[in-house]
């Protein structure tokens, strides 16, 4: 009986440690962002940046809210 109690408490301790370890791993997450905000998303963005023709994806309006930069991106190119 004493042996059964010690093995069950040992199992309980291992279970708690395992759950705590999983929680620590999940809560800490990655150290570095996988896709940085300033990295180009496509090969076309890289090409445009190299040729100095990059159009911003967002512009801020008069209220400071970011809006899609459709006017600049859809206007005909002046090459």
Break the chain into its structural domains and give their ranges: 2-27+45-73
Exposure string (b/e) for 23-34, b if CB count within 10 Å is 16 or more?
eeeeeeeeeeee
Q: What is the pLDDT along the chain (79 residues), one digit of tens a residue?
A: 445 566 778 888 888 989 988 877 777 766 777 777 777 777 887 887 788 777 777 889 899 999 988 887 787 765 5
Instruction: Name, in order, each residue with C-beta under 8 angstroms of 69's C-beta and a sequence gap of 6 or more.
Output: 55, 56, 57, 58, 59
């Amino acid at each position: 009986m004493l042996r059964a109690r010690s093995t069950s408490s040992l199992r309980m301790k291992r279970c708690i440690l395992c759950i705590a370890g999983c929680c620590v791993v999940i809560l800490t997450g990655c150290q570095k962002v996988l896709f940085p905000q300033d990295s180009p998303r496509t090969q076309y963005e890289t090409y445009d940046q190299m040729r100095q023709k990059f159009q911003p994806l967002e512009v801020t309006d008069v209220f400071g809210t970011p809006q899609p930069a459709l006017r600049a991106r859809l206007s005909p190119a002046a090459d």
